[in-house]
């Protein structure tokens, strides 16, 4: 292969820093709060249903998740959730928003290296304010030429973002942990895509890997990204 | 005056369509829900305090407002808000997110006219997904060359947005209903600014009008905006 790469897009949650782990911890806390009302699997399933139902209205992020937990608690308690449960859920949501940002291993060195040769663009879903705050707290904000917080990640999104902040998708690499949101639509837009799996992935983000696609690779760690890009160019 | 104007920035909520009216209606509904727990003024004051306290964490928008209403209800009920109140608050938030978008009088014609001569940029705070949905529902999305949903509106925000989507703040006009968020920081960034007051303004957005500022005007209606811009150029 030989091509020009000018721009590297990076997903944020579970690519640059832990996120799903925090959601899982809050799920566990939610389940414990409602223990006795239903089996853990039922609680988990109902919460997933409510989240999915609310996605169109609330989008991605902690605030919508908090509202969905409250709604699920109401349903599981036949409309009469104890106040202590509601207070605990509010507190859990607030703690998620206040949680310190913990970059994943190797991320800072990898981004510092890439930023010397490519334009880095952060491309993420979630609450606008919260994502900006996490980036600021990560100390990596200055490495990015642009930040795009988007409500949906489809091929059109990647085409638009790489046109605006780079030289088009054909000269861009997208890197992220979600096959469904980061990889498949970026490939569809014509970009290269590097999948770096995270041990936990929200069910909503799962999808099969593409087969027979030269522009795709699966990497064990983001630390392998600079070497792969060097091989492309 | 004689200058070149290439770009017109427009605030969304209470500039292009009703918003604060909807928040006021929900405030009234919230107050009625808690009647008997405290006087209406006390309920109003406590909600305002909680909203202000949460602004750093929740930012602007309906989801954060819904969470703040639940928190306020808890406080006013000494931590034991009835489930019926929580359910009603969740429903009120959901209804706000589902509310049809109602453009203010003259907005559509004004934007159609302006879009023929200038690049229109929507610049708004609030929930990313909800603001995108409102713009789509308004039917006016195609009139805008760009949409910037931002977490804060300060002079730096306007300088950056007008540099990215136009030819800099000095050749841009910002129009909005909030003196504090739309007018003063846009003037500080070097843009022209037209204030179109909305009958209701959230207390957080109030500020004094600038004095002795040639680049500022107060308009009774957004319908007067094209004529004012024509006078500048």
User: Both B172 and B217 in a single domain?
Assistant: yes
Domain range for B29 is 20-98
- HSE-CB at A106 with a 13 A cutoff on CA atoms is 11
* Total number of domains in chain B: 2
For the record, the structure tokens of A162 come out as 């790489």
* Per-residue pLDDT, B211: 85
Please report the pLDDT score of residue B159 as a whole number.
98
Tell me which residue has tokens 């808690």.
B34
Residue A194 counted as domain residue: yes
| Nearest CB to A70; choose among B59, B70, B132 | B70
- Torsion, Cα A85 A87 A91 A92, to 10 degrees, reads 20
Identify whether residues A107 and A183 lie together within a single domain.
yes
Position A176 in a domain: yes
A176 has a chain B CB within 8 A of its CB:
no
> Quick one: pLDDT at residue B147?
93
Asked if B128 and A59 come within 8 Å (Cβ–Cβ), the reply is yes
**pLDDT per residue over B199-228, tens digit each?**
877 666 777 888 888 999 999 999 999 999
In whole angstroms, give the CA distance from residue B93 to residue B98.
9
Residue A30's CATH number: 1.10.150.240
Are A50 and A13 in a shared domain?
Answer: no
CA distance B123 to B147: 6
Interface pTM, i.e. ipTM:
0.89
Q: Is A163 on the interface with B (CB under 8 A)?
A: no
A206 CB neighbour count, 10 Å cutoff: 10
pLDDT-based confidence at residue B25 (cuts at 50, 70, 90):
very high
Task: Tell me the shortest Cα–Cα distance from A128 to chain B, in angstroms.
Answer: 6
Which residues does chain A have with pLDDT short of 50?
A: none
Residues B42 and B113 in one domain: no
pLDDT digits (tens, 9 = 90+) for B138-157: 999 999 999 999 999 999 99
A99: Cβ–Cβ under 8 A, 6 or more apart, which residues?
A22
Q: Please identify which residue in the block is written with the tokens 């009603």.
A: B88
Residues B147 and B56 in one domain: no
Q: What pLDDT is attached to residue B101?
A: 94
Same domain, A24 and A118: no
pLDDT in tens, B4-24: 999 999 999 999 999 999 999
Same domain? For A86 and A55 the reply is: yes
Instruction: Assess if residue A220 is contained within a domain.
Output: yes
CATH number at residue B191: 3.40.50.1000
Handedness of CA A172, A175, A178, A179 (dihedral sign): positive
Model pLDDT, residue A79: 87
Asked whether residue A123 is domain-assigned, the answer is: yes
> Which of B53, B83, B98 corresponds to the end of one domain?
B98
A183-192: b or e for each residue (b if 16 or more CB lie within 10 Å)?
bbbbbbbbbb
Structural domain includes residue B2: no
- A70 inside 8 A of chain B by CB: yes
pLDDT in tens, B72-91: 999 999 988 999 999 999 99
For tokens 């009703």, the residue is B18
Does A78 lie in the same domain as A123? no
B63 neighbors A64 (Cβ within 8 angstroms):
yes
Position A1 in a domain: no
Q: Which residues contact A229 (CB under 8 A, 6 or more apart)?
A: A5, A8, A114, A118, A173, A192
In the prediction, which pLDDT does B209 show? 84
Task: Give DSSP secondary structure letters for B67-114.
Answer: HHHHHHHHHHTTT---HHHHHHHHHHHHHHHHPPP-BPTTHHHHHHHH
pLDDT score, position B102: 87
Residues B65 and B163 occupy one common structural domain: no
**Contact criterion met (CB below 8 Å) for A93 and B70:** no
Alpha carbons B8 and A224: distance in angstroms, whole number: 45
My answer on whether A49 and A90 are in the same domain is: yes
Nearest to residue B51, comparing CAs of B11, B25, B23?
B23
Tell me which chain A residues have a C-beta less than 8 angstroms from the C-beta of B96: none
Shared-domain flag, residues A13 and A45: no
Let me know if residue B182 belongs to a domain.
Answer: yes
Nearest CA in chain B to A64: B63
If asked whether residues B59 and B161 sit together in one domain, one would say no
Residue A34, pLDDT score: 96
Predicted confidence at residue A75, as pLDDT, reads 95
Q: Please indicate, yes or no, if residue B167 is contained in any of the structural domains.
A: yes
pLDDT at B203: 66
> Domain boundary residue among B98, B118, B151?
B98
Q: What is the pLDDT of residues A84-113, one digit of tens each?
A: 999 999 999 999 999 999 899 999 999 999
Query: Of the candidates A98, A129, A148, which is a domain's last residue?
Result: A98
Angle of the B20-33 helix axis to the B62-76 helix axis, nearest 10: 20
Which pLDDT score, from 0 to 100, does residue A203 have? 66
Question: In sequence order, which residues have a C-beta less than 8 Å from that of residue B32 and are 6 or more positions away?
Answer: none
Per-residue pLDDT averaged across B100-128, rounded? 95
């Amino acid at each position: 292969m030989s091509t020009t790469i000018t721009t590297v897009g990076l997903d944020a949650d579970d690519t640059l820093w832990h996120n799903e782990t925090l959601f899982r911890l809050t799920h566990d806390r939610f389940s414990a709060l409602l223990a006795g009302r239903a089996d853990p699997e039922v609680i988990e399933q109902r919460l997933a249903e409510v989240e999915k139902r609310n996605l169109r209205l609330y989008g991605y992020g902690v605030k919508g998740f908090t509202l969905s937990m409250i709604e699920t608690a109401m349903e599981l308690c036949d409309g009469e959730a104890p106040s202590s449960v509601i207070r605990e859920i509010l507190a859990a949501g607030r703690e998620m928003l206040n949680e310190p940002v913990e970059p994943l291993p190797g991320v800072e060195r990898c981004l510092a290296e890439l930023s010397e040769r490519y334009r880095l663009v952060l491309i993420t879903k979630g609450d606008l304010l919260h994502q900006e705050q996490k980036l600021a707290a990560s100390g990596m904000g200055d490495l990015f030429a642009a930040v795009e917080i988007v409500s949906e990640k489809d091929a059109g999104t990647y085409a638009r973002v790489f046109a605006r902040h780079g030289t088009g998708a054909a000269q861009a690499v997208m890197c992220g942990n979600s096959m469904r949101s980061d990889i498949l639509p970026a490939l569809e837009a014509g970009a290269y895509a590097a999948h770096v799996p995270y041990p936990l992935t929200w069910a909503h983000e799962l999808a099969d890997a593409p087969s027979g696609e030269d522009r795709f690779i699966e990497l064990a760690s983001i630390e392998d990204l600079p070497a792969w890009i060097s091989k492309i160019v």
